[in-house]
Structure 1
Protein backbone atom coordinates (compact mmCIF):
# COMPACT_ATOMS: atom_id res chain seq x y z
CA UNK A 1 0.00 0.00 0.00
CA UNK A 2 1.40 3.40 -0.96
CA UNK A 3 0.67 6.31 1.33
CA UNK A 4 1.90 9.93 1.45
CA UNK A 5 5.47 10.14 2.68
CA UNK A 6 7.50 12.89 4.24
CA UNK A 7 4.49 14.62 5.79
CA UNK A 8 4.06 15.21 9.46
CA UNK A 9 0.65 15.29 11.07
CA UNK A 10 -0.88 18.75 11.10
CA UNK A 11 -4.03 20.31 12.48
CA UNK A 12 -6.33 21.93 9.96
CA UNK A 13 -9.13 24.42 10.74
CA UNK A 14 -12.36 22.47 11.08
CA UNK A 15 -14.21 24.55 8.48
CA UNK A 16 -11.67 23.74 5.80
CA UNK A 17 -10.39 20.28 6.78
CA UNK A 18 -12.11 18.47 3.93
CA UNK A 19 -11.14 21.06 1.32
CA UNK A 20 -7.49 21.15 2.37
CA UNK A 21 -7.17 17.37 2.52
CA UNK A 22 -8.85 17.03 -0.88
CA UNK A 23 -6.58 19.69 -2.39
CA UNK A 24 -3.38 18.09 -1.12
CA UNK A 25 -4.41 14.59 -2.17
CA UNK A 26 -5.46 15.95 -5.56
CA UNK A 27 -2.03 17.48 -6.12
CA UNK A 28 -0.29 14.28 -5.01
CA UNK A 29 -2.28 12.27 -7.56
CA UNK A 30 -1.84 14.79 -10.38
CA UNK A 31 1.92 15.04 -9.79
CA UNK A 32 2.31 11.27 -9.73
CA UNK A 33 3.45 11.14 -6.09
CA UNK A 34 0.51 8.80 -5.56
CA UNK A 35 0.64 6.33 -8.41
CA UNK A 36 -2.37 4.79 -10.20
CA UNK A 37 -3.86 1.83 -8.31
CA UNK A 38 -2.28 3.02 -5.02
CA UNK A 39 -4.39 2.04 -2.03
CA UNK A 40 -5.67 4.92 0.10
CA UNK A 41 -6.34 3.98 3.70
CA UNK A 42 -8.64 6.29 5.63
CA UNK A 43 -6.88 5.39 8.86
CA UNK A 44 -3.39 6.08 7.50
CA UNK A 45 -4.50 9.34 5.88
CA UNK A 46 -6.18 10.37 9.12
CA UNK A 47 -2.89 9.94 10.95
CA UNK A 48 -0.93 11.72 8.24
CA UNK A 49 -3.14 14.80 8.18
CA UNK A 50 -3.90 14.82 11.89
CA UNK A 51 -7.67 14.85 11.40
CA UNK A 52 -10.54 12.47 12.05
CA UNK A 53 -11.63 9.98 9.40
CA UNK A 54 -14.77 11.96 8.55
CA UNK A 55 -13.07 14.76 6.55
CA UNK A 56 -10.82 12.13 4.96
CA UNK A 57 -13.85 10.13 3.85
CA UNK A 58 -15.59 13.23 2.47
CA UNK A 59 -12.42 14.34 0.66
CA UNK A 60 -12.12 10.93 -0.99
CA UNK A 61 -15.76 11.12 -2.10
CA UNK A 62 -15.03 14.50 -3.67
CA UNK A 63 -12.01 13.10 -5.52
CA UNK A 64 -14.13 10.18 -6.71
CA UNK A 65 -16.55 12.70 -8.22
CA UNK A 66 -13.61 14.31 -10.02
CA UNK A 67 -12.53 10.95 -11.41
CA UNK A 68 -9.26 10.76 -9.47
CA UNK A 69 -10.23 8.14 -6.90
CA UNK A 70 -12.11 4.86 -7.12
CA UNK A 71 -14.05 3.71 -4.05
CA UNK A 72 -14.90 0.01 -4.10
CA UNK A 73 -17.38 -0.93 -1.35
CA UNK A 74 -16.02 -3.60 1.01
CA UNK A 75 -12.74 -3.65 -0.94
CA UNK A 76 -10.98 -0.31 -0.51
CA UNK A 77 -10.19 3.06 -2.03
CA UNK A 78 -7.62 3.46 -4.79
CA UNK A 79 -6.08 6.07 -7.06
CA UNK A 80 -8.12 5.75 -10.24
CA UNK A 81 -6.67 4.32 -13.44
CA UNK A 82 -8.41 5.89 -16.45
CA UNK A 83 -9.04 3.55 -19.34
CA UNK A 84 -7.72 4.27 -22.84
CA UNK A 85 -11.26 5.30 -23.77
CA UNK A 86 -11.45 7.69 -20.81
CA UNK A 87 -8.17 9.31 -21.82
CA UNK A 88 -9.22 9.52 -25.48
CA UNK A 89 -12.45 11.30 -24.51
CA UNK A 90 -10.61 13.64 -22.16
CA UNK A 91 -8.07 14.50 -24.87
CA UNK A 92 -10.93 15.27 -27.25
CA UNK A 93 -12.24 17.77 -24.71
CA UNK A 94 -8.72 19.11 -24.12
CA UNK A 95 -8.39 19.70 -27.85
CA UNK A 96 -11.65 21.65 -27.97
CA UNK A 97 -10.96 23.77 -24.88
CA UNK A 98 -7.34 24.58 -25.64
CA UNK A 99 -8.14 25.27 -29.29
CA UNK A 100 -10.83 27.73 -28.24
CA UNK A 101 -8.47 29.30 -25.69
CA UNK A 102 -5.76 29.84 -28.32
CA UNK A 103 -8.28 31.54 -30.62
CA UNK A 104 -9.61 33.80 -27.87
CA UNK A 105 -6.11 34.79 -26.77
CA UNK A 106 -5.12 35.62 -30.36
CA UNK A 107 -8.13 37.90 -30.66
CA UNK A 108 -7.10 39.80 -27.53
CA UNK A 109 -3.79 40.90 -29.04
CA UNK A 110 -0.77 41.68 -26.87
CA UNK A 111 -1.56 41.06 -23.20
CA UNK A 112 0.68 40.07 -20.24
CA UNK A 113 0.13 36.36 -20.98
CA UNK A 114 1.55 36.67 -24.50
CA UNK A 115 4.69 38.32 -23.19
CA UNK A 116 5.09 35.59 -20.59
CA UNK A 117 4.61 32.97 -23.32
CA UNK A 118 7.64 34.41 -25.12
CA UNK A 119 9.75 33.90 -22.00
CA UNK A 120 8.41 30.38 -21.46
CA UNK A 121 9.33 29.43 -25.02
CA UNK A 122 12.85 30.79 -24.59
CA UNK A 123 13.25 28.57 -21.53
CA UNK A 124 11.64 25.64 -23.35
CA UNK A 125 14.14 25.98 -26.19
CA UNK A 126 17.00 25.70 -23.71
CA UNK A 127 15.43 22.64 -22.08
CA UNK A 128 14.93 21.06 -25.50
CA UNK A 129 18.55 21.66 -26.51
CA UNK A 130 19.71 20.14 -23.23
CA UNK A 131 17.35 17.16 -23.55
CA UNK A 132 15.90 18.06 -20.15
CA UNK A 133 12.47 16.44 -20.36
CA UNK A 134 11.72 17.08 -16.68
CA UNK A 135 12.14 20.84 -17.02
CA UNK A 136 10.43 20.88 -20.39
CA UNK A 137 7.46 19.04 -18.91
CA UNK A 138 7.08 21.81 -16.33
CA UNK A 139 7.17 24.41 -19.08
CA UNK A 140 4.55 22.50 -21.08
CA UNK A 141 2.16 22.94 -18.17
CA UNK A 142 2.96 26.65 -17.91
CA UNK A 143 2.57 27.18 -21.66
CA UNK A 144 -0.90 25.67 -21.80
CA UNK A 145 -1.91 27.30 -18.52
CA UNK A 146 -0.98 30.76 -19.83
CA UNK A 147 -3.03 30.27 -22.97
CA UNK A 148 -6.11 29.21 -21.02
CA UNK A 149 -5.76 32.06 -18.51
CA UNK A 150 -5.01 34.50 -21.33
CA UNK A 151 -8.27 33.57 -23.05
CA UNK A 152 -9.97 35.55 -20.29
CA UNK A 153 -13.00 33.26 -20.14
CA UNK A 154 -13.86 32.08 -16.63
CA UNK A 155 -16.21 29.30 -17.71
CA UNK A 156 -13.66 27.83 -20.11
CA UNK A 157 -10.96 28.00 -17.45
CA UNK A 158 -13.13 26.26 -14.84
CA UNK A 159 -13.96 23.37 -17.18
CA UNK A 160 -10.33 23.13 -18.21
CA UNK A 161 -9.10 22.76 -14.63
CA UNK A 162 -11.58 19.98 -13.91
CA UNK A 163 -10.47 18.23 -17.09
CA UNK A 164 -6.77 18.51 -16.26
CA UNK A 165 -7.35 17.10 -12.80
CA UNK A 166 -9.06 14.06 -14.30
CA UNK A 167 -6.19 13.57 -16.75
CA UNK A 168 -3.49 13.81 -14.04
CA UNK A 169 -1.66 15.42 -16.93
CA UNK A 170 1.89 15.67 -15.54
CA UNK A 171 2.10 11.88 -15.48
CA UNK A 172 0.96 11.61 -19.10
CA UNK A 173 3.35 14.31 -20.32
CA UNK A 174 6.33 12.30 -19.09
CA UNK A 175 5.20 9.24 -21.04
CA UNK A 176 4.60 11.24 -24.23
CA UNK A 177 7.92 13.11 -24.05
CA UNK A 178 9.80 9.84 -23.63
CA UNK A 179 9.02 8.99 -27.26
CA UNK A 180 11.93 9.51 -29.69
CA UNK A 181 11.83 12.97 -31.23
CA UNK A 182 8.73 14.09 -29.34
CA UNK A 183 10.56 16.68 -27.23
CA UNK A 184 11.72 18.73 -30.23
CA UNK A 185 8.42 18.18 -32.08
CA UNK A 186 6.44 19.48 -29.13
CA UNK A 187 8.68 22.54 -28.83
CA UNK A 188 8.28 23.30 -32.54
CA UNK A 189 4.49 22.94 -32.31
CA UNK A 190 4.38 25.34 -29.36
CA UNK A 191 6.31 27.90 -31.41
CA UNK A 192 3.82 27.55 -34.25
CA UNK A 193 0.89 28.09 -31.89
CA UNK A 194 2.53 31.15 -30.34
CA UNK A 195 3.44 32.65 -33.72
CA UNK A 196 -0.20 32.44 -34.81
CA UNK A 197 -1.40 33.94 -31.54
CA UNK A 198 1.02 36.87 -31.90
CA UNK A 199 -0.12 37.31 -35.51
CA UNK A 200 -3.70 37.61 -34.18
CA UNK A 201 -4.71 34.69 -36.39
CA UNK A 202 -7.43 33.22 -34.19
CA UNK A 203 -8.54 30.52 -36.60
CA UNK A 204 -4.97 29.46 -37.34
CA UNK A 205 -4.05 29.40 -33.64
CA UNK A 206 -7.04 27.22 -32.84
CA UNK A 207 -6.30 24.84 -35.71
CA UNK A 208 -2.63 24.48 -34.75
CA UNK A 209 -3.38 24.03 -31.06
CA UNK A 210 -5.88 21.28 -31.81
CA UNK A 211 -3.33 19.56 -34.04
CA UNK A 212 -0.73 19.82 -31.28
CA UNK A 213 -3.06 18.18 -28.74
CA UNK A 214 -3.83 15.36 -31.18
CA UNK A 215 -0.12 14.73 -31.73
CA UNK A 216 0.49 14.69 -27.98
CA UNK A 217 -2.22 12.09 -27.58
CA UNK A 218 -0.66 9.98 -30.35
CA UNK A 219 2.73 10.16 -28.60
CA UNK A 220 1.09 9.09 -25.34
CA UNK A 221 -0.53 6.08 -27.02
CA UNK A 222 2.83 5.11 -28.53
CA UNK A 223 4.38 5.32 -25.07
CA UNK A 224 1.69 3.09 -23.62
CA UNK A 225 2.21 0.55 -26.41
CA UNK A 226 5.95 0.52 -25.69
CA UNK A 227 5.31 0.01 -21.97
CA UNK A 228 2.89 -2.84 -22.70
CA UNK A 229 5.43 -4.50 -25.01
CA UNK A 230 8.15 -4.20 -22.37
CA UNK A 231 5.83 -5.64 -19.73
CA UNK A 232 4.90 -8.57 -22.00
CA UNK A 233 8.55 -9.30 -22.74
CA UNK A 234 9.41 -9.28 -19.04
CA UNK A 235 6.54 -11.66 -18.33
CA UNK A 236 7.63 -13.96 -21.16
CA UNK A 237 11.18 -14.17 -19.80
CA UNK A 238 10.08 -14.79 -16.23
Structure 2
Protein backbone atom coordinates (compact mmCIF):
# COMPACT_ATOMS: atom_id res chain seq x y z
CA UNK A 1 0.00 0.00 0.00
CA UNK A 2 1.39 3.41 -0.96
CA UNK A 3 2.21 5.74 1.91
CA UNK A 4 0.20 8.82 0.90
CA UNK A 5 1.93 11.08 3.42
CA UNK A 6 5.38 9.98 2.18
CA UNK A 7 4.38 10.53 -1.44
CA UNK A 8 3.05 13.98 -0.62
CA UNK A 9 6.25 14.84 1.24
CA UNK A 10 8.40 13.81 -1.72
CA UNK A 11 6.20 15.82 -4.08
CA UNK A 12 6.42 18.93 -1.90
CA UNK A 13 10.19 18.58 -1.64
CA UNK A 14 10.57 18.22 -5.39
CA UNK A 15 8.32 21.22 -6.09
CA UNK A 16 10.22 23.48 -3.69
CA UNK A 17 13.65 22.36 -4.96
CA UNK A 18 12.63 22.86 -8.58
CA UNK A 19 11.08 26.25 -7.78
CA UNK A 20 14.32 27.45 -6.22
CA UNK A 21 16.32 26.21 -9.19
CA UNK A 22 14.03 27.71 -11.84
CA UNK A 23 13.94 31.22 -10.36
CA UNK A 24 17.72 31.33 -10.86
CA UNK A 25 17.60 30.26 -14.51
CA UNK A 26 17.41 32.43 -17.59
CA UNK A 27 13.92 32.86 -19.11
CA UNK A 28 13.34 30.52 -22.04
CA UNK A 29 15.73 27.85 -20.76
CA UNK A 30 14.69 24.27 -21.50
CA UNK A 31 13.80 21.83 -18.71
CA UNK A 32 14.25 18.08 -19.20
CA UNK A 33 12.09 15.67 -17.18
CA UNK A 34 14.75 12.97 -17.54
CA UNK A 35 17.59 15.19 -16.34
CA UNK A 36 15.53 16.57 -13.44
CA UNK A 37 14.43 13.08 -12.37
CA UNK A 38 18.07 11.95 -12.26
CA UNK A 39 19.14 15.09 -10.41
CA UNK A 40 16.50 14.76 -7.68
CA UNK A 41 16.65 10.96 -7.48
CA UNK A 42 12.98 10.39 -8.25
CA UNK A 43 10.89 8.97 -11.06
CA UNK A 44 9.56 11.19 -13.84
CA UNK A 45 6.04 11.18 -12.33
CA UNK A 46 6.74 13.61 -9.42
CA UNK A 47 8.80 15.74 -11.81
CA UNK A 48 5.91 15.91 -14.28
CA UNK A 49 3.45 16.80 -11.50
CA UNK A 50 5.83 19.44 -10.12
CA UNK A 51 6.17 21.05 -13.54
CA UNK A 52 2.38 21.22 -13.84
CA UNK A 53 2.18 23.02 -10.51
CA UNK A 54 4.97 25.40 -11.46
CA UNK A 55 3.16 26.14 -14.71
CA UNK A 56 0.11 27.11 -12.64
CA UNK A 57 2.35 29.44 -10.62
CA UNK A 58 3.60 31.03 -13.83
CA UNK A 59 7.19 29.84 -13.53
CA UNK A 60 7.29 27.39 -16.43
CA UNK A 61 5.67 27.04 -19.82
CA UNK A 62 4.72 23.56 -21.05
CA UNK A 63 4.40 23.33 -24.83
CA UNK A 64 2.79 20.03 -25.90
CA UNK A 65 5.04 17.93 -28.17
CA UNK A 66 7.75 20.61 -27.93
CA UNK A 67 9.04 20.74 -24.36
CA UNK A 68 9.01 22.59 -21.06
CA UNK A 69 10.71 25.95 -20.62
CA UNK A 70 11.38 28.57 -17.96
CA UNK A 71 8.64 31.16 -18.39
CA UNK A 72 9.58 34.58 -19.73
CA UNK A 73 7.00 37.08 -18.40
CA UNK A 74 6.08 39.96 -20.69
CA UNK A 75 6.44 43.60 -19.66
CA UNK A 76 2.68 43.73 -19.15
CA UNK A 77 2.75 40.69 -16.86
CA UNK A 78 5.64 42.16 -14.87
CA UNK A 79 3.78 45.47 -14.56
CA UNK A 80 0.63 43.75 -13.33
CA UNK A 81 2.54 41.61 -10.83
CA UNK A 82 4.38 44.66 -9.50
CA UNK A 83 1.08 46.46 -9.09
CA UNK A 84 0.00 43.62 -6.79
CA UNK A 85 3.38 43.65 -5.06
CA UNK A 86 2.91 47.37 -4.37
CA UNK A 87 -0.48 46.78 -2.76
CA UNK A 88 0.68 43.90 -0.57
CA UNK A 89 3.94 45.43 0.58
CA UNK A 90 2.29 48.78 1.24
CA UNK A 91 -0.30 47.08 3.40
CA UNK A 92 2.41 45.07 5.17
CA UNK A 93 4.31 48.26 6.05
CA UNK A 94 1.18 49.82 7.51
CA UNK A 95 0.27 46.71 9.52
CA UNK A 96 3.79 46.31 10.87
CA UNK A 97 3.88 49.96 11.96
CA UNK A 98 0.73 49.35 14.00
CA UNK A 99 2.32 46.46 15.90
CA UNK A 100 5.03 48.42 17.70
CA UNK A 101 8.42 46.97 18.68
CA UNK A 102 8.21 43.45 17.28
CA UNK A 103 11.25 41.15 16.76
CA UNK A 104 11.16 41.67 12.98
CA UNK A 105 11.85 45.37 13.53
CA UNK A 106 15.21 44.61 15.14
CA UNK A 107 16.03 42.28 12.25
CA UNK A 108 15.08 44.97 9.72
CA UNK A 109 17.52 47.35 11.41
CA UNK A 110 20.26 44.74 11.09
CA UNK A 111 19.50 44.24 7.39
CA UNK A 112 19.67 48.00 6.82
CA UNK A 113 23.12 48.16 8.44
CA UNK A 114 24.35 45.26 6.31
CA UNK A 115 22.81 46.80 3.19
CA UNK A 116 24.50 50.14 3.88
CA UNK A 117 27.85 48.37 3.83
CA UNK A 118 27.00 46.44 0.67
CA UNK A 119 26.04 49.64 -1.16
CA UNK A 120 29.14 51.45 0.08
CA UNK A 121 31.36 48.65 -1.26
CA UNK A 122 29.31 48.34 -4.48
CA UNK A 123 28.60 44.68 -3.72
CA UNK A 124 25.45 44.43 -5.82
CA UNK A 125 25.11 40.67 -5.49
CA UNK A 126 25.04 40.91 -1.70
CA UNK A 127 22.76 43.93 -1.79
CA UNK A 128 20.31 42.03 -4.01
CA UNK A 129 20.16 39.29 -1.36
CA UNK A 130 19.57 41.86 1.37
CA UNK A 131 16.78 43.51 -0.63
CA UNK A 132 14.96 40.18 -0.76
CA UNK A 133 15.55 39.62 2.97
CA UNK A 134 14.31 43.13 3.84
CA UNK A 135 11.06 42.68 1.94
CA UNK A 136 10.60 39.17 3.32
CA UNK A 137 10.99 40.43 6.90
CA UNK A 138 8.48 43.18 6.21
CA UNK A 139 5.93 40.58 5.14
CA UNK A 140 6.67 38.43 8.21
CA UNK A 141 6.38 41.47 10.46
CA UNK A 142 2.88 42.35 9.33
CA UNK A 143 1.57 39.21 11.09
CA UNK A 144 -1.16 38.54 8.52
CA UNK A 145 -1.11 34.96 7.27
CA UNK A 146 -3.49 35.58 4.36
CA UNK A 147 -1.38 38.44 3.09
CA UNK A 148 1.76 36.34 3.51
CA UNK A 149 0.28 33.45 1.51
CA UNK A 150 -0.73 35.70 -1.40
CA UNK A 151 2.69 37.34 -1.31
CA UNK A 152 4.54 34.01 -1.56
CA UNK A 153 2.50 33.04 -4.62
CA UNK A 154 3.13 36.44 -6.18
CA UNK A 155 6.88 36.29 -5.62
CA UNK A 156 7.04 32.83 -7.17
CA UNK A 157 5.29 34.17 -10.28
CA UNK A 158 7.66 37.12 -10.42
CA UNK A 159 10.79 34.97 -9.99
CA UNK A 160 11.93 38.04 -8.08
CA UNK A 161 15.48 36.86 -7.40
CA UNK A 162 16.05 36.94 -11.14
CA UNK A 163 14.50 40.37 -11.69
CA UNK A 164 15.87 42.36 -8.76
CA UNK A 165 19.41 42.27 -10.15
CA UNK A 166 18.19 43.87 -13.38
CA UNK A 167 16.67 46.79 -11.50
CA UNK A 168 19.81 47.24 -9.40
CA UNK A 169 21.97 47.40 -12.54
CA UNK A 170 20.46 50.80 -13.32
CA UNK A 171 22.89 53.65 -12.48
CA UNK A 172 22.37 54.95 -8.96
CA UNK A 173 19.51 52.57 -8.18
CA UNK A 174 21.16 50.66 -5.28
CA UNK A 175 21.74 53.89 -3.33
CA UNK A 176 18.22 55.16 -4.07
CA UNK A 177 16.74 51.80 -3.08
CA UNK A 178 18.62 51.77 0.21
CA UNK A 179 17.49 55.30 1.09
CA UNK A 180 13.90 54.28 0.39
CA UNK A 181 14.28 51.27 2.70
CA UNK A 182 15.66 53.55 5.42
CA UNK A 183 12.65 55.84 5.11
CA UNK A 184 10.20 52.95 5.37
CA UNK A 185 11.99 51.56 8.41
CA UNK A 186 11.94 54.92 10.20
CA UNK A 187 8.24 55.38 9.52
CA UNK A 188 7.51 51.92 10.90
CA UNK A 189 9.53 52.74 14.02
CA UNK A 190 7.55 55.99 14.33
CA UNK A 191 4.31 53.95 14.09
CA UNK A 192 3.20 56.12 11.17
CA UNK A 193 1.35 53.40 9.30
CA UNK A 194 -0.33 55.58 6.67
CA UNK A 195 2.90 57.25 5.57
CA UNK A 196 4.83 53.96 5.76
CA UNK A 197 2.32 52.44 3.34
CA UNK A 198 2.57 55.38 0.94
CA UNK A 199 6.38 55.44 0.94
CA UNK A 200 6.59 51.67 0.57
CA UNK A 201 4.30 51.80 -2.45
CA UNK A 202 6.41 54.57 -3.97
CA UNK A 203 9.49 52.40 -3.41
CA UNK A 204 7.94 49.45 -5.26
CA UNK A 205 6.94 51.72 -8.16
CA UNK A 206 10.49 53.05 -8.37
CA UNK A 207 11.84 49.49 -8.44
CA UNK A 208 9.41 48.61 -11.21
CA UNK A 209 10.51 51.58 -13.30
CA UNK A 210 14.18 50.62 -12.86
CA UNK A 211 13.44 47.01 -13.79
CA UNK A 212 11.47 47.86 -16.92
CA UNK A 213 14.19 50.28 -18.00
CA UNK A 214 16.63 47.37 -18.01
CA UNK A 215 14.43 44.94 -19.94
CA UNK A 216 14.20 44.61 -23.72
CA UNK A 217 11.04 45.92 -25.35
CA UNK A 218 8.55 43.11 -26.11
Task: Using the TM superposition, give the Cα deviation of residue 44 of structure 1 relative to its aligned residue in structure 2, in angstroms.
Answer: 1.5
2:14 is aligned with 1:21: yes
Give the secondary-structure state (helix, strand or coil) at the position aligned to 1:131.
coil
Q: 2:102 corresponds to which residue?
A: 111
Unaligned runs of 5+ in 1: 1-12, 229-238
Q: 1:234 corresponds to which residue?
A: none
Task: Using the TM superposition, give the Cα deviation of residue 15 of structure 1 relative to its aligned residue in structure 2, in angstroms.
Answer: 3.8
Unaligned runs of 5+ in 2: 1-5
| 1:163-174 pair list within 5 angstroms | 163-174=154-165
Give the alignment's TM-score, normalised by structure 2. Answer: 0.95
Task: Using the TM superposition, give the Cα deviation of residue 14 of structure 1 relative to its aligned residue in structure 2, in angstroms.
Answer: 3.6
Q: Name whichever of 202-211 and 111-120 sits farther off.
A: 111-120
Q: 1:88 corresponds to which residue?
A: 79
Q: 1:59 corresponds to which residue?
A: 50
2:191 is aligned with 1:200: yes
CA–CA distance in structure 2, aligned partners of residues 208 and 23 of structure 1: 33
CA displacement 1:79-136 (0-9 Å, x = unmatched)? 1111111100000000000000000000111110111111110111111110111111
Aligned length: 212
2:52 is aligned with 1:74: no
2:201 is aligned with 1:188: no
CA–CA distance in structure 2, aligned partners of residues 72 and 175 of structure 1: 27
Give the secondary-structure state (helix, strand or coil) at the position aligned to 1:224.
coil
CA–CA distance in structure 1, aligned partners of residues 50 and 138 of structure 2: 30
Q: 1:8 corresponds to which residue?
A: none
CA–CA distance in structure 2, aligned partners of residues 177 and 72 of structure 1: 32
CA–CA distance in structure 2, aligned partners of residues 208 and 119 of structure 1: 20
CA displacement 1:201-234 (0-9 Å, x = unmatched)? 0000000000000000000011115xx6xxxxxx
RMSD: 1.1
Task: Using the TM superposition, give the Cα deviation of residue 16 of structure 1 relative to its aligned residue in structure 2, in angstroms.
Answer: 2.2
CA–CA distance in structure 1, aligned partners of residues 9 and 138 of structure 2: 31
| 1:116-195 pair list within 5 angstroms | 116-195=107-186
Task: Using the TM superposition, give the Cα deviation of residue 17 of structure 1 relative to its aligned residue in structure 2, in angstroms.
Answer: 2.3
Give the secondary-structure state (helix, strand or coil) at the position aligned to 2:69.
strand
CA displacement 1:170-221 (0-9 Å, x = unmatched)? 1111000011000100000000111111000000000000000000000001
Task: Using the TM superposition, give the Cα deviation of residue 41 of structure 1 relative to its aligned residue in structure 2, in angstroms.
Answer: 1.2
2:25 is aligned with 1:42: no
